[in-house]
Amino acid sequence: MQYEYLSVNKVGIVILGIETSCDDTSAAIIRDGYMLSNVISSQEIHRQYGGVVPELASRAHIQNIVPVVDTAIKQANVKKEDINAVAFTRGPGLLGSLLVGTSFAKGFALASNAKLVAVNHLHAHILSNFIQEEGKEKKLPKFPFLCLLVSGGHTQIIVLRDYFDMEIIGQTIDDAAGEAFDKCAKVMGLSYPGGPVVDRHAREGDSSVFKFSKPNIAGLNYSFSGLKTSFLYTLRDKVKEDAAFVEKNIPNLCASLQQTIVDILLDKLIKAVATTGIKEIVIAGGVAANSGLRNAVTNIANEKGWTAHLPEFRFTTDNAAMIGITGYFKYINGMFTTQNVAPAARFEDMGV
Ligand code: KG4
Ligand code: ZN
C-alpha cells in the first residue's frame, strides 16, 4: 500500500511548489518526487520587531515571489512549459501572506496551463520526510507512523495511516513548542526567532541548573503556558537579587529551558506510542531542527526499538520543497483545486 504512489510509472511530472504562509518566501521544483531546487528568501525585516509583522510580511512576499520562483525554475533547469502543476500553501498561516502565494499560483497556472494543487502547510511539514534527491537515496517512513509536529504555531501528535489519512491524537491547548522557545528567548533579550538561538547557547550550558514547571494534563495533549510563566517568574525573582543574573546565566538558562521543553514533548510521544502501538516515528516542523530534541528522539528510539525519521535541517523550517512533494502526491491522485480557491488562515478550515 505505502509505496503505491511512488511506484506508479508516471515520469516527468514537474511540480512548482510555493510557500508564503509566514515570513519565508520559497519556491521549489519537484520532478517525479525528487527535489531539483528549493529557494528560500527569509525576511530579515521582522528581526528588529522581535516577531513577524503580518503587513510587512505580505509586502515582502510581493517583492520576493517573482525572483524566488524564477531562481527555482532556473536552478532546476526546467522550462516553464514543463510544469504540470503549481502547488501552493493554502493555509494555515497569515492571511495576507497566504494571499500572495495563492494569487501568484493562480496566475501562474492560468498563464502556463498548469493544474492547481492546494496544500495544507502542516500536512506538508509531515510529508517533508518524503523529499528525495537524486543520488541521495534515503529510508522513507512506513505507514502507519506517528508524527510529532512541532512548529512556531502548532504542536501536535498525528497518526498517518496513509499520505492523506491523518488523525490528530494530541495537541497543545495553549502555546506551541516553538512559541515557548521564542517567548522565553525574548524574555532573556535574545533575538527572534529564539528557538535556534536557545539551541546554540544550550550546547554550552548545564540543563540541571534550573527547574521549570511541567504541565500535568491527562491524555496526549500539551500545554506550554505554565512553563512560560514559571520561566518568567524565575527570571523576575533572580533579577531582583542580581541585576546581571540573565546575562551571567544564558547558557544554563537555555539548556534548562530546552531540556524542559524536550521532556514535555517526549513524555506525550512515549504515551502515544504506548497507546497506539505504532513505533515508526517521524518528527517535523521548525522545532524538529532542535539538537536537544533530535538527540533525545534518537536515544529513546534506540532504547525502545522505535524507528525514528529526523528530517534534514533545511526541511524542518518553512520551505517550498515540502509543498512541492505534497503537491506531487496530490497530483498523482488527481487532487486538484480550482481558480475559485481562497486561502484559509485556520487549520480547522481546511482538510489535507
Ligand atoms: O515550522 P516553522 O518554520 O514555522 C511555522 O510553521 O511555525 O517553525 C518556526 C519555529 C520558530 O518558533 C523557531 O523558533 C523554531 O521553529 N525553531 C527552533 C529551532 N529552529 C527553529 N526551535 C528550537 N530549536 C531550533 N534549532
Ligand atoms: Zn511551518
Model confidence, pTM: 0.92
Q: What is the mean pLDDT of residues 127-140?
A: 94
Residue 193 has pLDDT above 70, yes or no: yes
Q: What is the pLDDT of residues 71-127, one digit of tens each?
A: 999 999 999 999 999 999 999 999 999 999 999 999 999 999 999 999 999 999 999
Residue 8 has pLDDT above 50, yes or no: no
Instruction: Put the strands of the sheet holding 280-284 in their side by side order.
Output: 165-171, 155-162, 145-150, 280-284, 307-309
289 lines ligand 1 (CB under 6 A): yes
- Which ligand has the nearest atom to the CA of 197? 1
Report the distance separating Cα 29 and Cα 323, nearest Å: 10
Between the CA of 150 and the centroid of ligand 2 the distance, in Å, is 9
23 lines ligand 1 (CB under 6 A): no
Nearest residue CA, atom 10 of ligand 1? 152
Residues with CB under 5 A from ligand 2 (ion): 151, 318
Between the CA of 153 and the centroid of ligand 1 the distance, in Å, is 9
End-to-end CA distance of the chain: 19
| pLDDT for res 204 | 98
Instruction: State percent of the chain over pLDDT 90.
Output: 88
Which residues, other chains included, contact 236 with Cβ-Cβ below 8 Å and sequence gap of 6+?
none
The three grid cell numbers given for residue 25, joined into one nine-digit string? 518566501
Report the distance separating Cα 248 and Cα 32, nearest Å: 52
Domains (range + CATH), the chain: 14-137+315-332 (3.30.420.40), 145-277 (3.30.420.40)
| pLDDT for res 220 | 98
Nearest residue CA, atom 14 of ligand 1? 195
Report the distance separating Cα 227 and Cα 176, nearest Å: 11
- Which ligand has the nearest atom to the CA of 182? 1
| Residue 50 pLDDT level (bands cut at 50, 70, 90) | confident
Q: What is the mean pLDDT of residues 199-224?
A: 97
Between the CA of 38 and the centroid of ligand 2 the distance, in Å, is 15
Report the distance separating Cα 5 and Cα 196, nearest Å: 35
Report the distance separating Cα 80 and Cα 73, nearest Å: 7
Residue 349 has pLDDT above 70, yes or no: no
Ranges 22-36, 37-51, 278-292: which has the least confidence: 37-51
* Residues 158 and 126: beta-carbon distance below 8 Å: yes
Residue 313 has pLDDT above 80, yes or no: yes
Nearest to 169 by CA among 265, 268, 310, 301: 268
Q: What is the mean pLDDT of residues 211-228?
A: 96
Q: What is the pLDDT of residues 158-183, one digit of tens each?
A: 999 999 999 999 999 999 999 999 99
Shortest-distance atom of ligand 1 to CA 316: 1
Length of the chain equals 352
| Residue 10 pLDDT level (bands cut at 50, 70, 90) | low
311 lines ligand 1 (CB under 6 A): no
What's the mean per-residue pLDDT of the chain?
Answer: 94
Report the distance separating Cα 345 and Cα 98, nearest Å: 8
| pLDDT for res 46 | 83
Residue 228 has pLDDT above 90, yes or no: yes
